[in-house]
Amino acid sequence: MRGNFPSTTPNHLEVINFNLASMKTPINLSSENSDSIIHSVLEASENPMTGIAIALLIISLWSISLGFLLMAEQVQQTSIIWKSMAIMVQAFLYTGLFITAHDAMHGAVFSKHPHINYCIGSLSLLLYGLFSYNQLQKKHFQHHHAPASEFDPDFHDGKHKNMVAWYIYFMQRYWSWWQFASLVMTYYGMHRFLHIANANLILFWIIPTIISSMQIFYFGTFIPHREPIGGYQNSSRTHSVYRPFLWSFLTCYHFGYHQEHHLQPDIPWWKLPSIISLR
């Protein structure tokens, strides 16, 4: 084993050995979640259609924005400020696709209908970067069961601890050559048959995806799961970063509430700030 990892409990070892692929229900970390009243209040106030409406809104905004930007003419003559703003907006919507898929993995998009969660999650990851929903769900469940350990696919290998090295190591564990080849073919098809300019594809399709991956890694993995100087203080091996509401939303869809997410993973992203107000 390379490098030094945080200690892994026997319970983590037992969890990893079972068949993760057979898991079809959201993870319940009730052993660490004593706030059942909070969960009950949030459920009682929930409109079952809200989650799916927000998910469809994000997918629609992403689609409309991307379509408009890809078809825009004379992009190279457009001001750098406009292009930069368009790239950042599109990157934020890309992150929204991934967060939507993430919520679907936990059954949080439409809790009463697992198949709808599966369809929305699969569509979101397909649009995000041709990712396999089943494979990412399996890895994400591993992350929840053994966070910040050698069994966590999101964690560094004990060697690549700095932000850049960890990000590269993180991406290597999620990307594949067939996926890269498929994206190259998609790029060629959009340019060759849909006559979309190379500049538009690079600026508004490729760059926003890369920025989004960095945003998700930095705010969703590096910041909450890097080991503090005094060591981890809880079994979820994470901590939350509380920011003003708007800034919390813009950074990564309230993923700063990361310990809350690990304690109650079936709470959708847009309800995470409410957990604090109910305590």
- In tens digits, what is the pLDDT along the chain, a chain of 279 residues? 444 444 444 444 343 343 343 333 333 433 344 455 455 545 545 677 899 999 999 999 999 999 999 999 999 889 999 999 999 999 999 999 999 999 999 999 998 899 999 999 999 999 999 999 999 999 999 999 999 999 999 999 988 889 999 999 999 999 999 999 999 999 999 999 999 999 999 999 999 999 999 999 999 999 999 999 888 988 889 999 999 999 999 999 999 999 999 999 999 999 999 887 665
- For the chain, domain boundaries: 47-229
Q: Single out the residue of 1, 54, 19 nearest to residue 141, CA to CA.
A: 19
Q: Single out the residue of 90, 94, 97, 91 nearest to residue 124, CA to CA.
A: 97
Q: Are 194 and 183 in contact (CB under 8 A)?
A: no
Q: What burial letters (b/e) apply to 144-165, b meaning 16+ CB within 10 Å?
A: bbbbbbbbbebbbeeebeeeee
SS3 191: helix
Distances (CA, A) of 24 to 20, 68, 260: 9, 37, 22
Q: How many CA atoms lie within 13 A of 135 on its CB side?
A: 10
